[in-house]
Every structure is written in structure tokens, then in C-alpha cells.
Amino acid sequence: MTWENLNFFYTDYIEVPLPEGHRFPMEKYRLLRETLLKNNILVNQQLEKAPLADFSDLVLAHNENYIKHFINGSLPEKELRPIGLTWSHELVKRSLAAVGGFIETSEAALAKGFSALLAGGTHHAHADRGEGFCVFNDFAVASLRLIKHKKVKKILIIDLDVHQGNGNSSILGHRDDVFILSLHGEKNYPFRKVKSHLDVALPAGTTDAEYLEALKSALKLVPNDFDIIFYQAGVDNLKEDTLGTFDLSFNGLIERDKMIFEFAQKRPLAMAIGGGYAKPIDLTIKAHVNTFEVAKSILKSY
Ligand SMILES: [Zn+2]
């Protein structure tokens, strides 16, 4: 694997208008891309605009009416509210790009060993509704698409965002060709968790040492017969995060990422960045950048 030949996808070419002071950090995606370039972790030639997902791919994981109503702007207010974002044509485009981008990421990872979407990890979206800033479920659509096209037999989803991926679980949790490992805050949203294949709920105030020990133990319980890993590398378990309950440091997150990239043992890995809501936003950007730096340092020697 040559790092310089790997492809990465981004969605921030579509600007989504949000009301002043909205708590969703929409600018983090552009800031992350710019910082990765500035720090020479990625070069421009490696970056591609995430394409918009097709209806035919979305229906693999989503209810037709939900897709149509969201795209047309005819979803009732009570179904829009749990998503927590203001509906706009740009939001539709951006939501489609997150899924289309992760589809490309999964294909690129299969072809070259590793790829990442500089967005995504929309793990709270269910088949017939969105919630928690997630409209469509990128991992679910990409999983069902790879399986449908017989490109893989088994997918391992490792979800380390501090929030449990209830949408991943509601869509994929019953399948035996997908295995979902989720490590999350027991006191964090969603307050009603949906069963994954392996859920590890950790208490508020979880430290680096406690977290890394729990992750190490969980990885020993994961089946080894997967063809690709989808990694949700959320950094909202950082101590400074405004929506997370854990006390992880930058170093703790770096060790976490090392553990995952080493665990992959040269098998394809497709990554989405997941959540991160620290204030100031620079802390979240730094944590996401660290993940890419760890990936580069481990994967370039493959
Ligand atoms: Zn999260």
C-alpha cells in the first residue's frame, strides 16, 4: 500500500445553511480537509468530491417513502425535528453525498486497502426515519450494497463514537453477514439503545486506561472472518467534547486508533470520521487530524 495512491472523499463542497449559533459544527468538515492538506497528511490529488447516492442504493437500507419525502421536502415537521438540522436543498444534497461518499470509500478500501470519507458515520439514521444529525445511514447502505453485489461475505463495523449507533443496529443488528461492535457512553444519547452484535456501554468519566482496556477485551470477542472493516472514528469521547461523557485525552484517542489499524491486519478498512463537538472546534479538528496521522504512520509501512 502506498499512502500517496489512496483516495479520500469529501462533502464540504456543498454548503449547508444553518441558523446562527446552531450546535452542529458544519464548518468542521472544511477545516479538517484544509488542515490535512496544510499538514501534508493528504495532498489535493488524493481528494475527490463525494458523489450523490442513487435512489437504487438508498432503498437497500431505507424505506421508499422516507427517502422521497425527505428529498422533496415533504417530510412532516414532527419527523424532521429529531434530525436536528434545518431542511434545505443543500442539506438533501449533502446527506446524499455522505452516503455516496461512503459507498466510494468502501469501494476504494476494497481496491487499495484503505480509504476515508472526511464526513459521515451517520449511524443514528434508521430505515424509515432520521435522528441525531443523521438523515441516511451511510454504513448501512454501503454494507448492504457490497453484500448485494457479492463483493464481500462479511463486514465488521467498529463504531467508537461516544453515541451508540442505534440506526446501524436497527438496520443491520439482526444480520449474520455483518458484525457490529459498539463502544459507547451508557449515559449518552441515544437513551434507548438498540442491540448490536457486541455492545460495550461505559460509564461517564471513563478514562484512557479504562477505555483502552475495554476496547482490547472487546476486540478479542470479534469474529475474525470479515472481509472489510467499516470504522466510525468519532472523537466525541474527548474530555472537552460538549456532547460526550468520557474523559479521553488526545493520547488516548491516538492509542485507540492505533489499536484499530493494527487490528485490521492489512484487511481493507473504510473509515468515516463520526462525531466531534468540542469547544473550541480546534480541539475536535486536532483529534480528527490525529486519526489520519495515525492511519498514515501505520498504513504506509504495509
Ligand atoms: Zn457521536
Tens of pLDDT, residue by residue over 212-237, are 999 999 999 999 999 999 999 999 99
Q: Name every residue whose Cβ is closer than 8 Å to that of residue 150 and which is 6 or more positions away in sequence.
A: none
Q: Give the per-residue pLDDT at 20.
A: 84
Q: Give the per-residue pLDDT at 131.
A: 98
Question: How many whole angstroms from 264 Cα to the centroid of ligand 1?
Answer: 23
Say if residue 297's pLDDT is above 70: yes
| Angle made by CA atoms 163, 164, 165, in degrees to the nearest 5 | 115
- Mean local confidence (pLDDT), 15-35: 92
C-alpha cell recorded at residue 120: 459521515
Q: Give the per-residue pLDDT at 135.
A: 98
Spell out the domains of the chain, with CATH numbers in brackets. 3-299 (3.40.800.20)
Question: How many whole angstroms from 1 Cα to the centroid of ligand 1?
Answer: 30
Question: How many whole angstroms from 14 Cα to the centroid of ligand 1?
Answer: 22
Question: How many whole angstroms from 272 Cα to the centroid of ligand 1?
Answer: 12
Percentage of the chain exceeding pLDDT 70: 100
- Mean local confidence (pLDDT), 294-300: 92
Question: How many whole angstroms from 159 Cα to the centroid of ligand 1?
Answer: 10
Question: How many whole angstroms from 123 Cα to the centroid of ligand 1?
Answer: 9
- Mean local confidence (pLDDT), 49-58: 98
Say if residue 114's pLDDT is above 90: yes
Question: How many whole angstroms from 164 Cα to the centroid of ligand 1?
Answer: 8
Tens of pLDDT, residue by residue over 162-192, are 999 999 999 999 999 999 999 999 999 999 9
- Mean local confidence (pLDDT), 54-59: 98
Question: How many whole angstroms from 259 Cα to the centroid of ligand 1?
Answer: 20
Say if residue 294's pLDDT is above 80: yes
Handedness of CA 250, 251, 252, 255 (dihedral sign): positive
Question: How many whole angstroms from 121 Cα to the centroid of ligand 1?
Answer: 9
Q: Are 202 and 228 in contact (CB under 8 A)?
A: no
Question: How many whole angstroms from 139 Cα to the centroid of ligand 1?
Answer: 14
Predicted TM-score (pTM) of the model is: 0.97
Say if residue 55's pLDDT is above 80: yes
Q: How confident is the model at residue 146 (pLDDT cuts 50, 70, 90)?
A: very high
Say if residue 38's pLDDT is above 80: yes
Question: How many whole angstroms from 293 Cα to the centroid of ligand 1?
Answer: 21
Q: Are 196 and 180 in contact (CB under 8 A)?
A: yes
Q: Are 114 and 138 in contact (CB under 8 A)?
A: no
Question: How many whole angstroms from 162 Cα to the centroid of ligand 1?
Answer: 5
Question: How many whole angstroms from 201 Cα to the centroid of ligand 1?
Answer: 14
Say if residue 265's pLDDT is above 90: no
Q: How confident is the model at residue 302 (pLDDT cuts 50, 70, 90)?
A: low
| Angle made by CA atoms 269, 293, 26, in degrees to the nearest 5 | 85
Question: How many whole angstroms from 4 Cα to the centroid of ligand 1?
Answer: 30
Q: Give the per-residue pLDDT at 21.
A: 84
Say if residue 208's pLDDT is above 90: yes
Mean pLDDT of the chain: 97
Question: How many whole angstroms from 2 Cα to the centroid of ligand 1?
Answer: 31
Report in angstroms the alpha-carbon separations of 227 from 106, 230, 290: 11, 10, 26
- Mean local confidence (pLDDT), 79-84: 97
